[in-house]
Structure 1
């Protein structure tokens, strides 16, 4: 296994304490756009998190009043115009690999969204497990606004499952902005909090998850994603197997022992 508390990020901000990692993009003067380098490092970071026992939950936060303005116009979109089909496909597969890595990292991810959350930034929020926003959050899947399809980085598969097919279709066809109030009402945001409370709310939720049965959380995340492509009968059988595996963990015994002793269980993730 890998320890990541001391990880040194080159192309974004990273901190870790008490089992909680906090990631923020670090170009606030540009509303935190992504670059080729930050895409690749984020992909590799989430891939490594799958093997990190010392990280229990991840907060993907905002910086300078904004979450992420998507791919940098000068550093990404301009250079893409000069790539051939092989180069373009390599890029789109890399961006998709970031989402795959987030889904498969085994850790609950909380997006703390303030201000601009558009393009690939909206996708990162979408691919997180839980989302908290401020009233100032402005979320838009802008791909059709730049002449592309709305089907980017899994949007046509994931977004309808969060907010319904019709609402997702509206956002993906038009590229219009979804307000924080809409996002909460539609189920995209779990809650909306005041800007000053955003970081503390996200960290408090992450702390609650980090103190929970981490193996059980990993299994929950795995089944939430795998069951998309299962029938109901397959899903019930898969969950039976998953739960039987979890019943072999020491955390399951700890919960029973604590209940008998009228105490709060202290989970250790094994």
Structure 2
């Protein structure tokens, strides 16, 4: 876990990804455009640390994850990760797969909604990062590929067999994980992987607008929604209804709930503060 005295994300000195915080939105940019933004051991660790630190940062109320240079992420760097993995024993390989899984755990555990803005190549671990986000915006030229089987590996990577079927359905997830084929932007939207498509030159602006809207929402309630969406995967309908009754009652104790009522009475738009 990140220490209690960790600096706010606005002061976080990121070295392996770009991090910018403004107006309650933290934007993470994978920034190795000459290689289509592959991940390294270091960027995996830094992304995980940032999402874990976000648990304690009430000033950040939404995330945008994107890539530089017209691509999202090409997955693990072939030379800096894959080549080095061939030199590891089983214990070392298990340490690596545990580390990559920790990134998805951190993304799902952080209370803020995460929006992936995906253009161009979105492959391997890059596709996993998009999958693990709460919302996904794409472009017509985006190509999403869970291509693990094409490098001799199973599709069960970083939670893909658990999360992807919930986004696109079991049969479609099976097709993507068994074949490793690229999913074009329009098809990804039709399948429910992308929430919306935008032209490449409009993607950043649309992502920023949606993230700003999320950041302006009731932070406690949004965090509760994210938590319950995850918890209810393993619940019966009856259990889910009972759990949601408790969650919603807690939201009704917040000042944001009262602000919404007061604004309605005054015929104004509520300004949420997250308390």
**TM bucket by the smaller chain?**
over 0.9
1:129 match:
134
Contact persistence 2:31–2:68 (CA under 8 A): yes
* Matches for 1:1-270 after TM superposition, within 5 Å: 3-270=8-275
Q: Distance in 1 between matches of 2:89 and 2:231?
A: 34
Q: Distance in 2 between matches of 1:179 and 1:4?
A: 34
Q: Please report the RMSD computed on the Cα atoms of aligned residues, expressed in angstroms.
A: 0.8
Deviation of the 1:78 alpha carbon? 0.5
Deviation of the 1:103 alpha carbon? 0.3
Q: Distance in 1 between matches of 2:204 and 2:11?
A: 21
Deviation of the 1:5 alpha carbon? 1.5
Runs of at least 4 residues off by over 2 Å: none
Count of matched residue pairs = 270
SS of residue matched to 2:70: coil
Contact persistence 2:31–2:67 (CA under 8 A): no
TM-score (ref. length: structure 2): 0.97
Unaligned runs of 5+ in 2: none
Deviation of the 1:124 alpha carbon? 0.1
SS of residue matched to 1:5: helix
Q: Distance in 1 between matches of 2:167 and 2:34?
A: 31
Q: Distance in 1 between matches of 2:55 and 2:91?
A: 29
- 1:47-83 C-alpha deviation (Å, 9 max, x unpaired): 1111111100000012100000000000000110111
Deviation of the 1:3 alpha carbon? 2.2
Q: Distance in 2 between matches of 1:87 and 1:228?
A: 31
- 1:204-240 C-alpha deviation (Å, 9 max, x unpaired): 0000000000100000000001110111111111100
TM-score (ref. length: structure 1): 0.99
